[in-house]
Amino acid sequence: MRKILNLAVTALVLVAASCSKSLMPVDEADQNSKLKATTGTISNEWRDNPYKLNVIYFVPNDVDSIPNFRKRISRILLDAQEMFASNMNREGFGRKSFGLDLVNDTLINIHYIAGKSGKATYPYSGGNGAVKSEVDSYFTQNPAAQKSVHNLIIIPTYNTDPANPGGPPFYGTGTTCYALDYANLDAKNLGIGGDIGWKATVWIGGMIHELGHGLNASHNRMNKTLAPTLGTALMGSGNSTYGISTTSLTATTAATFNNSQVFSTVTRSDWYAAATAEITSLTSSFSNNRIIVSGKFTTTKPVKDIVVWHDREPFGGNNDYDAVQWATKIIGQDSFRFECPLADFYDLTGNYEMRIGFMHENGSRSTLGYAYSFVNNLPDLSKVVTHKLLPTTGWSVIASDSAEPGAPASNILDMNRSTIWHTPWSSTQTPQPHYFSVNMSALRTVKGIAFRNRDNLNGAMKDIKIYSSTNGTTWNQIKATQLSKVSGSWISVDLDATLSTRYLKIESTNSWGDFFYSHLADFGVYSN
pLDDT for residue 8 is more than 90: no
Distance, in Å, from the CA atom of 388 to the CA atom of 79, rounded to the nearest integer, reads 50
The chain-wide mean pLDDT, for the chain, equals: 91
Q: Binning pLDDT at 50, 70 and 90, where does residue 319 land?
A: low
Mean pLDDT of 316-336: 87
- Minimum mean pLDDT range among 35-49, 158-172, 422-436: 35-49
Per-residue pLDDT at 40: 64
Integer CA distances (angstroms), 350 to 292, 340, 346, 373, 381, in order: 19, 17, 12, 6, 13
pLDDT at 28: 46
- What does the chain come to in residues? 528
What are the residue ranges of CATH 2.60.120.260 in the chain? 396-526
Q: Are 26 and 67 in contact (CB under 8 A)?
A: no
Helix, strand, coil shares of the chain, percent, nearest 5, are: 20, 35, 45
Residue type present at position 245: S
Q: What is the pLDDT of residue 498?
A: 95
For residue 183, the model assigns a pLDDT of 93
For the chain, give every residue range classified as CATH 2.60.40.2060: 277-380
Is 90 exceeded by the pLDDT of residue 318?
no
How many C-beta neighbours within 10 Å does residue 100 have?
Answer: 26
Q: Residue 27 — very low, low, confident or very high, per pLDDT cuts 50/70/90?
A: very low
Residues 6+ apart with CB under 8 A from 199: 163, 165, 184, 189
Backbone angles phi, psi at 325, to 5 degrees: -155, 160
Instruction: Give tens-digit pLDDT for 399-421.
Output: 999 999 999 999 999 998 889 99
**How many whole angstroms separate alpha carbon 375 and alpha carbon 382?**
12
State how far the alpha carbon of 28 is from the alpha carbons of 23, 166, 181, 316, 446, in Å.
10, 23, 15, 42, 71
In this structure, which amino acid lies at residue 349?
A: T
State pLDDT tens for residues 331-371.
Answer: 999 999 999 999 999 999 999 999 999 999 999 999 999 99
H/E element, 83: helix 69-90
Cβ burial of 406 (10 Å; 0-12, 13-18, 19+) is exposed
Bridge-based pairing state of the strands 290-299 and 277-287: antiparallel
pLDDT (mean) for 499-521: 95
- Which value, to the nearest 10 degrees, does the dihedral of the CA atoms of residues 77, 80, 86, 91 take? -120
Location of each CATH 3.40.390 domain in the chain: 49-263
Q: Answer yes or no: are the C-beta atoms of 497 and 479 closer than 8 Å.
A: no
Average pLDDT value for residue range 252-275: 97
Q: What is the pLDDT of residue 315?
A: 56
* Res. 15: pLDDT tops 70: no
Q: How far apart (Å, rounded) are the C-alpha atoms in residues 82 and 95? A: 9
Q: How far is residue 447's CA from residue 112's CA, in Å, rounded to a whole number?
A: 62
- Choice among 206-220, 277-291, 302-316, 398-412 with the minimum mean pLDDT: 302-316
Q: What is the mean pLDDT of residues 216-231?
A: 97
| Residue % of the chain over a pLDDT of 70 | 91
CATH for 49-263, among 3.30.980, 3.40.390, 2.40.160, 2.40.50?
3.40.390
Whether the bond between 143 and the residue before it is cis, its omega within 30 degrees of 0, is: no
β-partners of residue 284 are: 293
pLDDT at position 35 over 90: no
Fold annotation for 396-526: Jelly Rolls (2.60.120)
**pLDDT of 443 over the 50 cut:** yes
Q: Residue 22 has what pLDDT?
A: 39
CATH code, 277-380: 2.60.40.2060
pLDDT at 11: 29
- Indicate the SS3 state at residue 343: helix
pLDDT, tens digit, 9 for 90 and up, residues 494-503: 999 999 999 9
